[in-house]
Amino acid sequence: MSISTDHRSSLSPAGRRVAVISGSVRKDRMGPTIAQWVAAALDPAQLDLIDVAQVELPDDSLLYPGGGPKSEVADRIAAADAFVFVTPEYNHSYPASLKRLIDWHYGEWRVKPATIVAYGVHGGYAAIEHLRGVLAELSVVTTRRALGLRAPWTCLDDQGRYTPDAEVARGLTASLAELRWWAEVLADARRDRPLTI
Ligand SMILES: Cc1cc2nc3c(=O)[nH]c(=O)nc-3n(C[C@H](O)[C@H](O)[C@H](O)COP(=O)(O)O)c2cc1C
């Protein structure tokens, strides 16, 4: 999918930052390949790519309700106005590595939007629905649209880049357009009507 610069800025919320979070940590994982595909659709100036495999979280024994000691990516998550979660499906859900990243933060997520790009043998829809429920608890609004990529390892070009068909590419565009709308609305809402309940 080749995306023009104009198209990329039209999908990135005006003046807002988007964090693309890749949730798997296995050796030879697909996650970064899919995250790169998502990132290519966004304005690089507004993008932060967070690979959970590169993040060292504190020991879970230090976790308490609402987070724990500040993590090394807390400021990056706090700086984001919107999130794209890129997640595989493991045993009908999303991986524990992504849940740890989520649980280690709290206020950083609050009143922000997210869209989900999942993948798996069957498209990763169970991971999408499990993640929606967890994000709702953190006052993260998920877009109606979410993308489930079926066996994306069958759509790699000779350089290992994910190159899906046009319908899948249109699905990403629609999800990001919806995310952009929420990002702008919720950024205004956080400023004008902070959620205090
Ligand atoms: C522990 C484990 C469980 C899996 N369970 C599922 C599953 O329930 N549904 C599915 O569609 N794919 C499942 N898969 C296949 C993965 O979606 C596929 O291997 C994918 O590439 C994993 O993402 P990753 O490479 O980023 O780790 C599973 C893979 C692993 C490693």
Task: Read off the CATH number of the domain in which 111 is found.
Answer: 3.40.50.360
Whether 41 is in a domain gets the answer yes
Residues 197 and 195: their CA atoms lie apart, in Å, by: 6
Condensed to tens digits (0 to 9), the pLDDT of residues 141-167 reads: 999 999 999 999 999 999 999 999 999
Could you tell me the residue range of the domain that residue 59 belongs to? 5-192
Number of Cβ atoms within 10 Å of the Cβ of 9: 15
Dihedral sign, CA of 82, 174, 141, 185?
positive
25 part of a folded domain: yes
Is residue 37 situated within a structural domain? yes
In a domain, 120, yes or no: yes
Q: Assess whether pLDDT exceeds 50 at residue 187.
A: yes
Q: pTM, whole model, 2 decimals?
A: 0.95
**Ligand 1 centroid distance, CA of 30 (Å):** 9
Determine which residue's CA is closest to atom 14 belonging to ligand 1: 90
Residue 75 predicted with pLDDT over 80: yes
Using CA atoms, how far apart are residues 167 and 171, in angstroms rounded to an integer?
A: 6
How many domains does one find in the chain?
1
Residue 76, in any domain of the structure: yes
162 ligand 1 Cβ < 6 A: no
Which atom belonging to ligand 1 lies closest to the Cα atom of 123? Answer: 11
Which segment of 7-11, 27-31, 79-83, 106-110 scores lowest on mean pLDDT? 7-11
Give me ligand 1 centre to Cα 143, in Å.
23
Q: For residue 84, tell me if it sits in a domain.
A: yes
Q: Is the CB of 24 under 6 A from ligand 1?
A: yes
Q: Does residue 148 have its Cβ closer than 6 Å to ligand 1?
A: no
Residue 151, in any domain of the structure: yes
Q: Is residue 197 situated within a structural domain?
A: no
* H or E stretch at 97: helix 96-103
Give the DSSP letter of residue 151.
Answer: S
Residue to probe by mutation, ligand 1, list 20, 29, 30, 89, most atoms within 8 Å of CB: 89
